[in-house]
Structure 1
Amino acid sequence: MNRRTFAAAVVAVAVALSAGAGFSLDLELSPYKPVRALSGHLKSVGSDTMLHEMELWAEGFKAFYSGVKIEIEGKGSNTAPPALLSGEAQLGPMSRQMTPDEIAAFETKYGYKPTAVLVAVDALAIYVHKDNPVQCLTMEQLDRIFAENPKSAGGKSAHTWGEVGVTGEWAAKPIAMFGRNTLSGTNKFFKLNVLGGGDFKDAVRQQAGSEAVVKAVAADPGAIGYSGIGYKTDDVRAVPVAASFGKTCYDASFENTYTRKYPLARGLYVYILKDPKTPMDTLSGEFVKYVLSKDGQTQAKKGGYYPITRNIREHELARLGLIALAE
């Protein structure tokens, strides 16, 4: 997909803003309309970031179809491609896009590329303890905090809060770093977008889940970590981020995320196997329609993520050949 749908939404917003129309996104989605009774089994293997969301969607979908069983496993985005490739799963939620090598493996086996469905929008939040006074961090400062060999500031690493601009009694406090493990798409996204593909410091304490990162930060006043905005609690703060020194800091709000002012905005995807020459199977198709409906996107908001727009929904349904069955 190469973020085309997300980019298209951003362009539309930018045009509206430049025309003086103010910030506006069409979030009026049609409710899901169930079809005849469905039965069968779906399995989802992939993102931990999206685990709670997939559980909400599964429960909502099964409320319409008692004969449907949905099995969900969420250990990390890196587990989705092999599960789809082996046929173990029909759904592969990922908090990042597939790599060229992962896509090539599908083409080699199936003769076509996997299909990514944009199902929600997320801000990868930078969390600190609720008492930490830091007001803003730049992408360069995050690189200096987390990278083994920072590409910013002449390669100078940051080890204390004073080295990233915090004054007073916090200046000498060591920075304790928490992040996701290597199975995680969030780990890969952060590594690519913040560290420029470089390596993490050995001192970064890897956590198996998104919630675990936030809990670790909440328990350590000197800590910093990254996780999806849907995992925010009252015990941590999501720090505003600036693209570079001298640029404006933006928090991870809905508006800032959709307009990409917040530098760590990202799409959340469910990958499926769909032969472009044949229709999508009914069960998987109805599940996707539910996720992209008002019902499904209400669950996305409940999970702490940002919903898709009407334009994105229509684009995705048309691309999948499902638009004739949806409003």
Structure 2
Amino acid sequence: MNLKTLTLALTAQAALTSAAFALDPALPAYRPVGNLSGELKSIGSDTLNHEMELWAAGFKANYPNVKIQIEGKGSATAAPALVAGTAQLGPMSRLMNGEEAEAFEKKYGYKATAIGVAVDALAIYVHKDNPIQCLSEEQLDRIFSTDRKGSGGKSVDTWGDAGLTGEWATHPIAMYGRNTISGTYEFFRQQILYDGNFKEAVKHQAGSEAVVQAVANDKFAIGYSGIGYKTDGVRAIPVSVHYGQKCYNPSSDDTLAGKYPIARLLYIYVNKKPGETLDPVIAEFVKYILSKDGQTQTEKGGYYAINSEISASELQRLDTASSAK
């Protein structure tokens, strides 16, 4: 896989220090602007739900008169909410698809604005006792897909088919993933299944946490979910692009270096009319997320921080610096 989304969005990320979970020291600290009040509604990604809660709590510590409501059922709920005006913030774990973008532009006459807010290694989880050392993208396609567009060959149905021996060899692989309104579902389907179809046996879960919990409770299970949902009951295994090639972990080091092959940028969409500044409350919330304070919360939630160059680029593009004046 070529990491198209991550490569385009994170061209400067390699400049980050190699120490795990180390913030870019050049990220600016957030500076409150004084009294600020209002209400924000966020509707969208389940993957970003914990992050939104952490960012909201940190922001409200500066502005106790701001109320923030968060609803995280799936990325597919973000665009309709922005179009309808029932939310000001639309967290998504993928970019809007053509239909979603077209609906927004038809309503408002301009495109919705995507803000890169965090980096995710989409992890492949197995039970903590599973001895599998690595899986390739081709093997994952054969495990999850009925079409096997990206890999061809025989379906991988048992752990023996995946290379395990002994008691594992004859056990069928129990598969877990996200439901169809999830951006994670769509990202995995596009990147690993090459737009193919999931096997009917895949158990689609309503939330990212539910996927990880299901794998933790099933010794012979495999599932995919954001790295921010990792628990002690599962292992996030290394992944290679092709069978026999070097495997890389979904660690901060390998992800930010562009080596872990199933990585993505996470977004918040906003309705910003060209030539006009954002509403002050929205603008300051965005500034907080993109600051050192906000990105500290990003890492607390288990995801990986963007760097100062991306932060500055997003702020300049949104012109948030002048929006609160």
**TM above 0.5, one fold?**
yes
Alignment of structure 1 residues 209-228 onto 2, 5 Å: 209-228=207-226
2:184 aligns with 186
1:126 aligns with 124
2:24 aligns with 27
Matched residue type, 1:27: D
1:89 aligns with 87
Provide structure 1 residue ranges, at least 5 long, that are not aligned to the other structure.
none
Choose which of 258, 261, 274 in structure 2 pairs with 1:260.
258
Choose which of 296, 303, 313 in structure 1 pairs with 2:294.
296
* Structure 1 residues 152 and 269: alpha-carbon distance in aligned structure 2, compared to 1, 3 A threshold: closer
Choose which of 316, 319, 322 in structure 1 pairs with 2:320.
322
Distance 1:50 1:26 in 2: 19
- SS of the equivalent of 1:224 reads strand
| Deviation, structure 1 residue 252 | 0.4
* Structure 1 residues 193 and 4: alpha-carbon distance in aligned structure 2, compared to 1, 3 A threshold: closer
Matched residue type, 2:39: H
1:36 aligns with 34
1:201 aligns with 199
| Deviation, structure 1 residue 148 | 1.4
| Deviation, structure 1 residue 279 | 1.1
Q: Considering only aligned residues, what root-mean-square deviation do their CA atoms show, in Å?
A: 2.0
Per-residue CA deviations over 1:13-35 (Å, capped at 9, x if unaligned) read: 2xx69xxxx85887121211000
1:47 aligns with 45
Distance 1:6 1:26 in 2: 19
Equivalent pairs, count = 319
Matched residue type, 1:310: S
| Deviation, structure 1 residue 113 | 0.4
Per-residue CA deviations over 1:280-317 (Å, capped at 9, x if unaligned) read: 11110000000111111111111000001011100100
| Deviation, structure 1 residue 66 | 1.2
Alignment of structure 1 residues 67-216 onto 2, 5 Å: 67-216=65-214
1:306 aligns with 304
Matched residue type, 2:303: Y
Alignment of structure 1 residues 244-259 onto 2, 5 Å: 244-259=242-257
2:238 aligns with 240
- SS of the equivalent of 1:38 reads coil
Does the 8 A contact of 2:6 with 2:263 survive in 1? no
Does the 8 A contact of 1:300 with 1:306 survive in 2? yes
Matched residue type, 1:46: G
Per-residue CA deviations over 1:125-157 (Å, capped at 9, x if unaligned) read: 000000001000000000000001212553421
Does the 8 A contact of 2:6 with 2:265 survive in 1? no
Does the 8 A contact of 2:141 with 2:151 survive in 1? no
* Structure 1 residues 173 and 281: alpha-carbon distance in aligned structure 2, compared to 1, 3 A threshold: same
* Structure 1 residues 269 and 12: alpha-carbon distance in aligned structure 2, compared to 1, 3 A threshold: closer
Matched residue type, 2:91: P
Per-residue CA deviations over 1:152-200 (Å, capped at 9, x if unaligned) read: 5534211101111112221111100000001100000000000000110
* Structure 1 residues 108 and 307: alpha-carbon distance in aligned structure 2, compared to 1, 3 A threshold: same
Distance 1:95 1:52 in 2: 13
| Deviation, structure 1 residue 245 | 1.6
Deviates more, 1:190-199 or 1:149-158: 149-158
Provide structure 2 residue ranges, at least 5 long, that are not aligned to the other structure.
none
Distance 1:88 1:238 in 2: 36
- SS of the equivalent of 1:211 reads helix
Does the 8 A contact of 1:10 with 1:259 survive in 2? no
Distance 1:88 1:207 in 2: 25
2:8 aligns with 7
Distance 1:273 1:65 in 2: 22
Does the 8 A contact of 2:23 with 2:296 survive in 1? no
Matched residue type, 2:140: L
Distance 2:209 2:188 in 1: 16
- SS of the equivalent of 2:209 reads helix
Matched residue type, 1:87: G
Does the 8 A contact of 2:277 with 2:322 survive in 1? no
Distance 2:219 2:9 in 1: 40
Distance 1:113 1:148 in 2: 36
- SS of the equivalent of 1:220 reads coil
Distance 1:153 1:99 in 2: 25
Percent identical pairs in the alignment equals 60
- SS of the equivalent of 2:309 reads helix
